[in-house]
Structure 1
Amino acid sequence: MADHYEVLGVSREATTDEIKKAYRRLARELHPDVNPGADASERFKQVTHAYDVLSDAKQRQQYDMGGSGQGAAGGFGGFGDIFDTFFGGQTQQRGPKSRRERGQDALLRVEIDLDEVIFGTHRDLEVDTAVLCETCQGSCCQPGTSPITCDICHGSGQIQRAVRSLLGNVMTSSPCGSCRGYGTIIVSPCVTCQGQGRVRARRTVPVDIPAGVDTGLRLQMPGSGEIGQAGGPHGDLYLEIKVRNHEIFSRNGDDLLCTLDVQMTDAILGVETTIHALDGDVDLELKPGIQSSEVLTIKGRGVTKLRGNGRGDLRIGIQVVTPTKLDHREKELIKAFAAGRKQQATQLGHFQQGLFSKLRDKFLG
């Protein structure tokens, strides 16, 4: 029978989510309602059976240890399943099971500032997790001792018994109740970890967060989760990113957006100015007659692209500020200015929801 991992197209170290995704993809492709061919139907049964085995932690462990993994896809998977059904026995596995288990995955949420997104940042995260017991180094035994062979199952981890049936006497096997299927018994468990081979502790995990991340993104750090029982392999650590809102700048994809208040006189005459961006100063030249809702684009001063080269742009929306409080002299100067210009009659135009609506259209356009 084909290997279940090969049937699903995943590695033997695949996570439960990776197995689920692979199954869903193949099921959509091979389902009889979509692909009525005989070959597709047979493959669909194999894919479904492989998923049934690998998605169940207990069945997967038995399969990885050499069990047949025969399940319910298409009827009984062999004599072992018949015995399980009628006599309550379990399929004999090859040798005792291991005490070593893979550690659990962990999820941490990390908040960073918008300016840290531009070039990436480093964090030293404090994590409460399971670490290797320094006393027994994962052996689960008190130093100077070791497990002894179970005298009930003689190290096999299984107990065989004869069951009378219509087929005659049938030999079935089940995990040894004395050693719980391990084949050995720990007479003197480590007092530090109570025979688990690991203890809870606080450790520091260094993390390099790449540039260009955004809120909701999850980063996987293989092998940085908790250690497994009896010094088993580490699980994975997942980091869920949250980018804090900035009081001035916002983000649209890889672009940074902001607005710049310009005094009316500077808008009329033009001006050179400097703004403080997230990654340093930017020199701007505002040409005479610049209007509200115009957008200036500074190439390459946005966020570094997460996948790919280069950076986005810095886009600056202009807002011309009209003074509301003028002294007598200023009013007279404005009146003289207005009197010296040829005035255009006021005209009606299409209703707009103000500056920010126009800026939004230009920012996102």
Structure 2
Amino acid sequence: MAADVQTGVVDTAWGQIPHSTHATAGIGSFTRSRVERIISLAAGLGSVLVGLQSFLTALGSTDERPGWHLALMVSVFGSLAVMILACIIGRGVRIAAGAFAMIYVLALAAWPIATAGIAPASLDEPWIWLPLNLATLAAVLAFPLPLQIVWTALTPLLFGIVRLIQVGFAQEYWLVVGLDVSFTLILGGVILTLGWLFRSMAVNVDETRARAVASYAQAAAADAAEQERVAVAALMHDSVLAALIAAERATTPRERTLAATMAREALTRLANTEQDDHEGTDEPWDAATLAAEIGEAARDLGVEVDVQRDIDPASPPIPGRVARALTLAATQAVANAVQHAGGAGLDVAVASHEGRVRVEVRDAGEGFDPDAVPDDRLGIRASIVARVAAVGGQTDLRTGPQGTVVRLSWQEAAA
């Protein structure tokens, strides 16, 4: 009983593992995205407190000349408010934070001009110093790591320079300004380090998760392949063996015809074993539809192929059974080219003239030895050769160091 429960849990877990590249595309950024959201939200809430203190201090400032006070407050606190809003709602954080970091530095650089000719009222720091580390925080939110380091180091130094210019490099201010610069450098370094640490941990977690999911997906694919081999073995035993026995025992023309029909159906079923949908209806296709279906199937495999067409408009339609077999066989050839040749030099061509249809799939891989393919690998034998043979077509496979060419052809029977 416990073994059954454990098996059910494992099967449920397998069923929830995404097995395609499209489904796993976002796995590699799962934790990083959430850490970024947490950082931006914490930055927004922290900026509210520091920004409010700075704003209230700036309201009573008399350091700036007339006209400069309002301009500096609007530019600094207006951009800060936009950054805080972006952090809270989680949209446009990088843009808003980058804008505030730039605007603050510009306001800081303009401080000596805004305060020219006005003596400071005391040794206390001006209001422009209070949001200095918010600019460092904004750089952590908006910029890559090298620029974050530059911003963290140079912004406090810029404040020290403009503050000394404001006070005329008076000796009594040197110690105070030095302490202010040191404090902001230390706090900015802490902010920078925490941001880097949390992001690095998130990236490591995402990479580990992605590797685990990829490993599970490979195991699931191997399990599916094993189940496919079991299904094919059962099919060989039931259908193909029955057809061979019927052929051996056939003594009359009617029995021989029946045995041939059984063999054809067995080959078709064998060729379609790994497909979700089988032969389908026999509604005729035209060659253009055949080319379009092959191109669409290739896109489903994750590759863009411009299917070359050499189609005679007067060419008769292709039976649906034949067209579907050619499409599935060509799709398998494309899948083999992608898997074993990396899709190098992949090229597909469809030609139709006077009742003869030819599909050609080329790649520029290193080729392979057909005789060295294990017997349990059915990609070529069943999915291509047997599938095309089941509808009366032929397969020509040529491979070598220059690449592989798979030619599928079908000729309409003479009336």
Flag whether TM exceeds 0.5 (same fold).
Answer: no
Structure with more of its chain in strand, by fraction: 1
Q: Which has the larger radius of gyration?
A: 2
**Relative contact order, higher structure (CA 8 A, sep 6+):** 1
Report the TM-score range of the alignment, normalised by the length of the smaller protein. Answer: under 0.3
TM-score calculated relative to the size of structure 2: 0.18
Structure with more of its chain in helix, by fraction: 2
